[in-house]
Amino acid sequence: MNHNTPLSPRPLSHLTEVHRRVLTTVQLRAHGVPAAEVNEQCRPDGPWQQLLPGVVLLHSGPPTGEERLHAVLLYAARERTAGVPVQPGAEGPHRPTYTETMVTGLAALTLHGFTSAPELASLKQIEVLVPRMRRLRSTGCARIVRTAALPTPQQVKGVPVAPVPRALADAVAELSDANAVRGLLTEAVRGGHCEPAAVVRELNNAKLLSRPHVVDAVDSLLAEGRAIAEDRLYRMVSEHGLPDPVWNVDLRLPGGPHLGGLDAYWPEQAVAVELDTRAPRQDEDALWSEYARKREHLERLGITVVHITPKKLRDAMEQQAAVVRTALMASADRDPAAYVVVLPR
């Protein structure tokens, strides 16, 4: 290896090349490069540079976004299992194993493909999640985020990345721009990355729902999520050959109380569909109690209520259509339901 020859930056899909340009001092020592030589090569006018404590960039030019990403992961990973890079001249792909760390925040959203997240090269710091008890400090381009329980990472082109809801919460925690927050949350739902409830749950866990600009963005997110779920419900009925229901109605007893709103209702079969778009906030238990009370009341009147979550509509639409079809067919074997008044909602 000629340490004086800068290596050309490559796209994110070629991280195996980056692994040859960013190494820890432990990895260098395993390749026969002693600490004294590392220090000599990293002198101010030398061919190498120390990006982070214990992490060396094997050229003197500015680091690419991918090199900084790799350096931060190497810095935060458990060194004893961080993996040894490919030997000089070796052929074939190689990716080190990053232990007890993963990319989160804006960098993670960039890796997940968010167009509203900045490019890696423009980020001043890259956030990484580590266990709370790790002795590690933020420095340089590495920002350490501690957590009591690491989520299961997703592998994006060989890089461990926090799931979108957790990455969003960590990104939003550092953002004060309401438009930026709203843009990220909206893209999470419109882009099909996750459901609103999962995002709100993470924001709630991070105690971010007391911030006005976050609350406003969450309200927009929930409205967006409900609109998408309603569109999927229309598609389910159409694409799976279900009879047309009446849409978005309120039920009342004749001359009596309001029974509640429903997303779809088949009057002849007394079957209702309700989209469960609850978001986990402080009042989740109270809201669930309200759902349960309404369902129990309707079922006492002989109306079958099918609850469908947006996630099930997205991931298992055919299965949900089968559930509704079964309820419609079973109506012939049930006692007639009580007469109710159906009004537009």
Residue pLDDT, tens place only, 163-196: 999 999 999 999 999 999 999 999 998 888 988 8
Residue 106 CA: distances (Å) to CA of 114, 162, 273, 293: 9, 11, 37, 41
Q: Which of 236, 266, 291, 238 lies closest to 342, judged by CA? A: 266
Higher pLDDT, 84 or 25: 25
On the question of pLDDT at 17 being above 70, the answer is no
- Provide φ and ψ at 140, rounded to 5°: 55, -130
State the average pLDDT over residues 88-99.
Answer: 52
Q: Model-level pTM?
A: 0.77
Q: What is the band of 292 on the pLDDT scale with cuts at 50, 70, 90?
A: confident
Q: Tell me, what amino acid is at 286?
A: A
DSSP, residue by residue, 13-58: GGHHHHTTTEEEHHHHHHTT--HHHHHHHTSTTSS-EEEETTEEES
CA 244 from centroid of its chain's CA atoms = 35
**Are the C-beta atoms of residues 158 and 103 closer than 8 Å to each other?**
no
Mean pLDDT score of the chain: 85
**Are the C-beta atoms of residues 95 and 158 closer than 8 Å to each other?**
yes
Q: What is the pLDDT of residue 188?
A: 92
Q: Which of 40, 80, 77 lies closest to 55, judged by CA? A: 77
Q: Percent of the chain having pLDDT more than 90?
A: 56
On the question of pLDDT at 27 being above 90, the answer is no
Give the range among 15-29, 128-142, 327-341 with minimum mean pLDDT: 15-29
**Are the C-beta atoms of residues 117 and 109 closer than 8 Å to each other?**
yes
Q: Please state, in angstroms and rounded to a whole number, the distance separating the CA atoms of residues 256 and 336.
A: 19
State the average pLDDT over residues 293-319.
Answer: 91
Q: Which two tokens stand for residue 184?
A: 């990220």
Q: Please state, in angstroms and rounded to a whole number, the distance separating the CA atoms of residues 191 and 184.
A: 10
On the question of pLDDT at 247 being above 50, the answer is yes
Instruction: Please write the tens of the pLDDT for every residue from 49-89.
Output: 999 999 999 988 899 999 999 999 999 986 543 344 433 33
Q: Please state, in angstroms and rounded to a whole number, the distance separating the CA atoms of residues 343 and 87.
A: 72
On the question of pLDDT at 284 being above 60, the answer is no
How big is the chain, counted in residues? 345
Q: Percent of the chain having pLDDT more than 70?
A: 86
- Provide φ and ψ at 234, rounded to 5°: -60, -45
Cβ-in-10-Å burial (0-12, 13-18, 19+) of 2 comes to exposed
